[in-house]
Structure 1
Amino acid sequence: MARRRKGLPIDGVLLLDKPKGMSSNHALQRVRRLFQARKAGHTGTLDPMATGLLPVCFGEATKFSAHLLDADKVYRTRVKLGETTDTGDAEGVVVERQALPDTLDRSAVETILERFRGEIEQIPPMYSALKHQGRKLYELAREGKTIARAARCVTVYDMRPLGWERDGFWLQVRCSKGTYIRTLAEDIGAALGLGAHITALERLETGPFDSEKRLSLEALEAMSDDERLGQLMPIDVLLGHLPSLAVEAPVADRLLQGQRASVPDAALALAPGATARLYRGESFLGLVESTAPGEIAPRRLVDTSALVPG
């Protein structure tokens, strides 16, 4: 006999304000227990030291979480000059120190920052969740091992100072997926000849979401069950960047059975290979792909029998 799955079949998206000193997975499990949810996942790890926006997907929403993993991000960070650590942040051990000038040359910093705007190459840090032969790099780093890592191309769309201090400065960075802010700070410090690491990191935005509606664990714990459920956003908020396509019930039924369907009028604007959100009335059904002019096929659909509105 199959074991009954534990938890409630809750579906939706929550914007969590991850606290400092807690891993993203620990924060996720705390939220999952609060909602008594059967299934939940987050959309991009924040380091334990980092704080800020951590979208959590419940139930059927987890099928579409990759769209946020690939999204652009905005961070606020404090760069401390004069010290380099083995992790690139304040949780690491200082491995090198440099004497700082009496006054930080802001124009020199601005000049260096310009080098790191646009497409740049980064070598991922050893203290990261990337894997080498099935093991996470940070696990190897803790054993004192260093693995050669290939440089990766990332994009810094915008980077501007927010405040200046004698031993460093605050930055706001808008960047592409895969950008390591710790590495960015280290590279800026190296270019200045002073060394650097970050002492604070906060994620302000990810994809379509900003910090306006994020909720702390304390706020969620103080709510009733109904109040918590009222904080959930619908699944399709993850997919607002994609075009939408509404179909009648017979076409929707065909697609939900895994078959292609003809929709000559509605799909004319979709180029072959394009992906669109699928709706039957007001109900979101998932994603479809244009396979030919006037024809679409299911790509990633929700289990409509399991959907429970948030």
Structure 2
Amino acid sequence: MTNNPTIFNGLLLVDKPSGISSHDVVARLRRILKTKAVGHSGTLDPMASGLMVCLVNEGTKLSQYILEGDKGYRVRAQLGVRTDTLDTTGEVLEKVSVEFPKERILAEAFKLQGEMELEVPIYSAIKVQGKKLYEYARQGQEEQVVIPKKMMNFWDVEAVEIGPDWAEFDIKCSKGSYIRTWVDLLGKALGCGAAMSSLRRTWSAPYHLPQAQTLEQIEQAYTGAPPWGTAFVGMDHALPQIKRIRIKGQDKVLLGNGQISHDLRSQLITAFRPSEDQYVQVLAQDTGHLLALVGLEEGRGFVLKRVFKY
């Protein structure tokens, strides 16, 4: 536990260990940082490890902008096994002995790239008729629900290590794509079934795993004075993909009252490119603090989407 009086606002890049839930990570951070205002931008299952982008205090207002990012993973597939959950934590439905040449595994894996419309796993939190899919599965009601399909996109599939009955890959995917589903597809392509045996998130755009710290490292760092390390991303650096402008004086005062001044509007007109930009960040000239996110709406002009208070 820390007695650090400094209040942190922004993102925390956590290297989650396997064996605990994303909720457990958030609960631990709430204790370390002494704030209830902690969330995250994408769940990792208990068996998975790696990069979790957590949101702290004013950073929780950034959730929808962080969630939009693509993801990268290192995944290991166990070949010759088929389970109800599509990973090795589930009930084994079929198991066969297999031994494939490396070239065959690679050839099938590299074919599984691009955008595809696929069923989501039955063991997932997607809701159908107000009920999570995994609830249907646990209650033996799979026949009572139509499993929805969604567009998933996989690319940059690279082999890390290949064995006769297992394979490890680095892979990138769009938000909301299921790596378990990709592994299942690989098993079907090889004709033997496959289940995900390990998963580590390495990238959550624009952040990479080497920037993250373990919960223990974060707790130790936060006992001292800032800067606390690369895992702590302040509000002014949280959205590097979004264009930024700076203001001062009366423009800043008016913005704090929810108003866009004439000078700020002029800056926005110059900076904003409707074909490229959804939002523009407005930062304070003196402190560098992120003050607001501004968007352009048809019929309304420039609109304050988010205002941040420190």
Q: Aligning the two structures, in what range does the TM-score lie when normalised by the shorter sequence?
A: 0.7 to 0.9
CA contact (8 A) 1:220 1:228 kept: no
CA contact (8 A) 1:254 1:260 kept: yes
**Counterpart of 1:288?**
294
**Counterpart of 1:278?**
282
Greater shift, 133-142 or 64-73, is seen at: 133-142
**Counterpart of 2:116?**
120
Instruction: Give CA deviations for 1:112-135 in whole Å, capped at 9, x if unaligned.
Output: 223311112221101112112333
SS of the residue corresponding to residue 253 of structure 1 reads: helix
State the shift of 1:224 in Å: 5.5
Q: CA separation of 1:83/1:228 partners in 2, compared to 1, >3 Å: closer, same or farther?
A: farther
Q: CA separation of 1:57/1:265 partners in 2, compared to 1, >3 Å: closer, same or farther?
A: closer
**Counterpart of 1:3?**
none
Counting matched residue pairs gives: 295
Q: CA separation of 1:145/1:238 partners in 2, compared to 1, >3 Å: closer, same or farther?
A: farther
State the shift of 1:182 in Å: 0.6
State the shift of 1:53 in Å: 0.5
Q: Unmatched 5+ residue regions in structure 1?
A: 1-6
Q: Unmatched 5+ residue regions in structure 2?
A: none
- TM-score norm. by structure 1 comes to 0.88
Q: CA separation of 1:32/1:8 partners in 2, compared to 1, >3 Å: closer, same or farther?
A: farther
CA contact (8 A) 1:44 1:68 kept: no
Greater shift, 118-127 or 182-191, is seen at: 118-127
Question: 1:247 is aligned with what amino acid?
Answer: I
- How far apart in 1 are the matches of 2:110 and 2:42? 27
- How far apart in 2 are the matches of 1:248 and 1:126? 52
Alignment of 1:244 with 2:244, yes or no, is yes
**Counterpart of 1:297?**
303
SS of the residue corresponding to residue 87 of structure 1 reads: coil
Q: CA separation of 1:107/1:182 partners in 2, compared to 1, >3 Å: closer, same or farther?
A: same
Alignment of 1:268 with 2:270, yes or no, is yes
- How far apart in 2 are the matches of 1:75 and 1:249? 45
Poorly superposed stretches of 4+, deviation over 6 Å: none
Q: CA separation of 1:29/1:8 partners in 2, compared to 1, >3 Å: closer, same or farther?
A: farther
Q: Map residues 123-138 of structure 1 onto 2, 5 A cutoff.
A: 123-138=119-134
**Counterpart of 2:202?**
204
- How far apart in 2 are the matches of 1:227 and 1:15? 18
Greater shift, 43-52 or 247-256, is seen at: 247-256
CA contact (8 A) 1:9 1:37 kept: no
- TM-score norm. by structure 2 comes to 0.88
- How far apart in 2 are the matches of 1:33 and 1:47? 21
CA contact (8 A) 2:152 2:178 kept: no
State the shift of 1:219 in Å: 2.5
**Counterpart of 1:91?**
89
- How far apart in 1 are the matches of 2:20 and 2:289? 36
CA contact (8 A) 1:259 1:297 kept: no
- How far apart in 2 are the matches of 1:299 and 1:154? 29
Question: 1:278 is aligned with what amino acid?
Answer: V
- How far apart in 2 are the matches of 1:39 and 1:229? 21
Across the aligned residues of Structure 1 and Structure 2, the Cα RMSD in angstroms comes to 2.3
- How far apart in 2 are the matches of 1:200 and 1:65? 27
SS of the residue corresponding to residue 264 of structure 1 reads: helix
CA contact (8 A) 1:9 1:38 kept: no
Q: Map residues 24-173 of structure 1 onto 2, 5 A cutoff.
A: 24-101=22-99, 104-146=100-142, 147-173=145-171
Instruction: Give CA deviations for 1:148-204 in whole Å, capped at 9, x if unaligned.
Output: 222211211211111011211101001110110011100110111010001110001
CA contact (8 A) 1:249 1:280 kept: no
**Counterpart of 1:177?**
175
CA contact (8 A) 1:17 1:216 kept: yes
CA contact (8 A) 2:102 2:164 kept: no
CA contact (8 A) 1:67 1:238 kept: no
CA contact (8 A) 1:53 1:203 kept: yes
